[in-house]
Structure 1
Amino acid sequence: MKNKLSDCLRPLLLGAVFLSSVAQADVQSLNRVVAIVDNDVIMQSQLDQRIREVEQTIAKRGAEAPPRDVLQQQVLERLIVENLQLQIGDRSGIRITDEELNQAMGTIAQRNNLSLDQFRAALARDGLSYDDARNQIRREMVISRVRQRRVAERIQVTEQEVQNFLASDLGKLQLSEEYRLANILIPVPEGASPEVIQAAGKRVGEVYNQLRSGADFAQLAISNSASETALEGGEIGWRKAAQLPPPFDSMIGALSVGEVTEPVRTPGGFIILKLLEKRGGSTAVREEVHVRHILIKPSEIRSEEETRRLVERLYERITSGEDFAELAKNFSEDPGSALNGGDLNWIDPQALVPEFRDVMANTATGQLSKPFKSTYGWHVLEVLGRRATDSSEQMREQQAMNLLRNRKYDEELQSWLRQIRDEAYVEIKL
């Protein structure tokens, strides 16, 4: 393989650098608490291990690492926010079963064209133990589910918003190009004084001038940005213009690859974007699937095991001849489809979470899947039909819905992460 396995693991879940286990072979004998985070702690060994991993990532990019104290502050802040999300997951009863974890590890190995034994060997060559990799994937899956419950599920996009978007000039452009972006965020606290805002404006101006003078964007992001992706050089991945908050949605199309926007004041602070790459511009024929499902969610009064058993009983009732639609209306906890008998209509598979998409792909038309779990809960689905479409009206509406949801999700996630950080008890003991 040309890339290290640690690089292949990173983008599969949340895009974070590997967390370390407290028990590492090279942990110094003298360990100490570097931060108290609500009901948990962060140890020096965790911080040191993460710093080493970040330094390795920076070195592979050919960039120069910022001063040790700056990097240490950035890494510790990342660990604090991750720790808070893991604590929320623990209090919410979010658990990743060994079966789910084994499936995730198998998927990662398969995507790298490796058997599990080859996968273990490749991890070892990269200096990672298989158990440490499993623990990290488990943490990332917990964080993903926390975000689904606390952020994604409360985002609503109305039909009117979709139609307004499709009728807009910007909406008509969204079936064309996509942009790979990186950002630098200089934060401004909510309710900040004019002096604080002025200081942040001066700081972002200095960063912008350095960029115009040829400074490395990734290195400046690592040293200065408060964005969640700062330690990855600020890279936020591929976005449509409609997924960006104004005025970036209209600014980005005027950039050439490698150029940066001027600093823009947003509710969270000052942001600079860099255009790393463009793609798209042609219409492709895509498969759409007509599918219906029943969703049952674990809750404070219904355990994971009880939820699984309920879905299995519903599966048995359907296979025994009971009407799928009636059972969906009576039992499904998906508010968007329950009243329609669980019908999701024709949908682009890429709009669905991976667990749902994979089961749907392996279920024949007219067939019922066995019960399975996704980030939303336990499902049983039935595939009603498949078709190839070339930007039909329904597909355009679904694409608009996804773009608007992603835009709201990005904004809501950053707001929520700031909120839990501000509300937490954090004591830095460095």
Structure 2
Amino acid sequence: MKSKLTNCLRPLLLGALLLSGAVHADVRPLDSVAAIVDNDVIMKSQLDKRVREVQQTIAKRGGTNVPPADVLEKQVLERLIVENLQLQIGERSGVRITDEELNQAIGTIAQRNNMSVAQFQAALAHDGLSYEDARDQVRREMIISRVRQRRVAERIQVSEQEVKNFLASDLGKAQLSEEFHLANILVATPESASSEAIQAAARKAGDIYTRLKQGADFGQLAVANSGSDNALEGGDMGWRKAAQLPPPFDAQVSALSLGDVTEPTRTPGGFIILKLLEKRGGGNVTRDEVHVRHILLKPNEVRSEAETKVLADRLYERIKGGEDFGDLAKSYSEDPGSALNGGDLNWVDPQSLVPEFRQVMADSPQGVVSKPFKTQFGWHILEVLGRRATDNTEQAREQQAMMVLRNRKYDEELQSWLRQIRDEAYVEIKLPGAEQAAQADQ
């Protein structure tokens, strides 16, 4: 593999050298290969660009002690290698992101930041970032997400019995009401690490713990030292249930106060330190439900949009004139699921309905028939028959338990899979001093 890639690159490098010799007035530094990763390469320009982006992100989070460039470069390159491997898997598997899907994802990102797409582009430009580069990064992340879904998430199964056992356990009962926002630092050790390597990792983890207790910034130390997949995000793990964490971390986080860190704990992958950033949860879960009935009229080949609207208006007037809503729904409604029941949808969760229907339903007083309105399905007339709040605690607990167990299995499987594809890949670091650094690590 190495010789093939070298042969492919040699003509390009030779041409570049000849060109630079012919044009002495405009000498520019050539791009170079930072790493060979199976059938692809990571260029030094890619690495430098990502390092700059990470530095900007750290600065925005208020970080003052940015790790040295060589330390950050090593972390970023490892991230790029693992990303590249997943993208190659996506390419071989035929994973494609259409422009429509990408545009929708960009729109969602902008919306989450309370921006239009145009404002999002302007914000990127203000930060010195290219909109096209941002689109490319989102596309890459979507491909990686789909690869992980196929290779990891789809293999995870949680049985009803597992859910029942979890809910009946002391841990399940104690922890479902609380969530923890956590960050971690992993001082990694290889699977076949020698006792000397394990002791060195233990000393490094202990030193990091001491610095944290003395007030060092957790995020900065994570960026500089953590071997976890989330290192460049300051070790941020997001929100987790204690039960999602393998022992003994499930018990440790429950005993932490906000801002506390755990002592380094040995795991199969190395030594882990956790920090509790936030805590939330508690209380019963209720769900608002609405008892509603409706009449649906759809435009078709025989009846135009305008004619459908006219018919809806006529039915509305007939109901206002005293005719029975249920009888008219049985005669005219084109919703096969409710027409025979007089248009009755029974008790429904408003969140399960399309936004236009949900809004009209929310604005309609109980017992008052709405004026005709349009959704993607056609023209509707609705009447709210009742509203209630139901105790959904047990159902919510089962859903939470299912999610906790799936997330626990997913996290373990994902890290194992990432290590596997990294160990099985052909990777050659081409940065200056890479060989000496590798020998020092051994």
TM-score, length-scaled by structure 2:
0.68
Aligned to 1:124: 125
Q: Is the 8 A contact 2:244 2:404 kept in 1?
A: yes
Aligned to 2:89: 88
Aligned to 2:30: 30
Q: Is the 8 A contact 1:58 1:64 kept in 2?
A: no
* 1:136 counterpart letter in structure 2: Q
Q: 1: distance between equivalents of 2:257 and 2:99? A: 47
Q: 2: distance between equivalents of 1:206 and 1:124? A: 40
| Alpha-carbon spacing, 1:136–1:360, altered in 2? closer, same or farther (3 Å) | farther
* 1:274 counterpart letter in structure 2: K
Aligned to 1:8: none
Q: 2: distance between equivalents of 1:144 and 1:347? A: 33
Measured against aligned partners, the alpha-carbon deviations of 1:27-47 in whole angstroms (never above 9, x if no partner) come to x75211110001111111111
Gap regions ≥5 residues in structure 1: 1-27, 290-319, 324-345, 350-356, 371-385
Q: Report the CA distance between 1:238 and its aligned residue.
A: 0.9
Matched, 1:145 2:121: no
Q: 1: distance between equivalents of 2:388 and 2:91? A: 42
Q: Report the CA distance between 1:68 and its aligned residue.
A: 1.6
Q: Is the 8 A contact 1:256 1:275 kept in 2?
A: yes
User: Is the partner of 2:66 in helix, strand or coil?
Assistant: coil
What is the aligned-residue RMSD (CA, Å)? 2.9
Q: Report the CA distance between 1:202 and its aligned residue.
A: 1.8
Q: Is the 8 A contact 1:287 1:348 kept in 2?
A: yes
Measured against aligned partners, the alpha-carbon deviations of 1:90-147 in whole angstroms (never above 9, x if no partner) come to 1100000111111112222233333333332222222222222211111110010001
* 1:48 counterpart letter in structure 2: D
Q: Is the 8 A contact 1:347 1:398 kept in 2?
A: no
| Alpha-carbon spacing, 1:209–1:112, altered in 2? closer, same or farther (3 Å) | closer
Matches within 5 A, 1:167-316: 167-286=168-287
Aligned to 2:56: 56
| Alpha-carbon spacing, 1:348–1:236, altered in 2? closer, same or farther (3 Å) | farther
Q: 2: distance between equivalents of 1:405 and 1:389? A: 27
Aligned to 1:397: 398
Q: 1: distance between equivalents of 2:207 and 2:348? A: 47
Q: 2: distance between equivalents of 1:133 and 1:275? A: 31
Aligned to 2:47: 47
* 1:127 counterpart letter in structure 2: G
* 2:33 counterpart letter in structure 1: V
| Alpha-carbon spacing, 1:87–1:322, altered in 2? closer, same or farther (3 Å) | farther
* 1:403 counterpart letter in structure 2: V
| Alpha-carbon spacing, 1:261–1:93, altered in 2? closer, same or farther (3 Å) | same
Aligned to 1:23: none
Measured against aligned partners, the alpha-carbon deviations of 1:207-237 in whole angstroms (never above 9, x if no partner) come to 1122222222111111111011111111111
Q: 1: distance between equivalents of 2:349 and 2:81? A: 37
| Alpha-carbon spacing, 1:105–1:288, altered in 2? closer, same or farther (3 Å) | farther
* 1:243 counterpart letter in structure 2: Q
- Structure with greater proportional helix content: 2
Q: 2: distance between equivalents of 1:70 and 1:175? A: 39
* 2:281 counterpart letter in structure 1: G
Matches within 5 A, 1:302-341: none
Aligned to 1:418: 419
User: Is the partner of 1:401 in helix, strand or coil?
Assistant: helix
* 1:237 counterpart letter in structure 2: G
| Alpha-carbon spacing, 1:421–1:118, altered in 2? closer, same or farther (3 Å) | same
Q: 2: distance between equivalents of 1:81 and 1:155? A: 22
Gap regions ≥5 residues in structure 2: 1-27, 291-333, 338-346, 359-374, 378-386, 432-442
| Alpha-carbon spacing, 1:157–1:123, altered in 2? closer, same or farther (3 Å) | same
Larger radius of gyration: 2
| Alpha-carbon spacing, 1:151–1:64, altered in 2? closer, same or farther (3 Å) | same
Report how many residues are paired.
326
